[in-house]
Amino acid sequence: MLKPILFAAAACASAISASPVLAKAATPGVRIVSYADLDLSSSAGQARLERRINAAVRDVCGEAPSFDLVRRRAVAECRTQTRDNALRSVPAAAGLFGTR
């Protein structure tokens, strides 16, 4: 069974969902993170899922140059909100990750 996490940047109008039906490969601001191959009862599986989510969040929210403090703050807020939304969309991951 495919277990994806579908999430979008908080600033996007895209819905937060665990359904791959809503995903389009070229949709900006949306990424699917599969965890079908992970054992979320193990710390290694949890760590791998968290790394996958963090990589997708960085990809969705982007980067900002160090001199652009307004953009850096927007990127940081996007990353926080997007990561939180992604973790909420994974019933199996509820309570696995501490807040950071």
- Tens of pLDDT, residues 52-87: 999 999 999 999 999 999 999 999 999 999 988 888
In a domain, 9, yes or no: yes
Cβ atoms of 90 and 5 within 8 Å: the answer is: yes
Tell me, what's the pLDDT at 55? Answer: 93
**Which domain covers residue 89, as residue numbers?**
4-93
Tell me, what's the pLDDT at 3? Answer: 53
Cβ atoms of 7 and 84 within 8 Å: the answer is: no
- The number of domains in the chain is 1
In a domain, 8, yes or no: yes
Backbone angles phi, psi at 47, to 5 degrees: -65, -40
Mean pLDDT in residue range 30-42:
87
- Identify which has the larger pLDDT, 19 or 42: 42
Residues 6 or more apart from 22 whose CB is under 8 A from it?
Answer: 6, 14, 15
pLDDT at 41 > cutoff 60: yes
- Identify which has the larger pLDDT, 35 or 22: 35
In a domain, 56, yes or no: yes
Tell me, what's the pLDDT at 24? Answer: 38
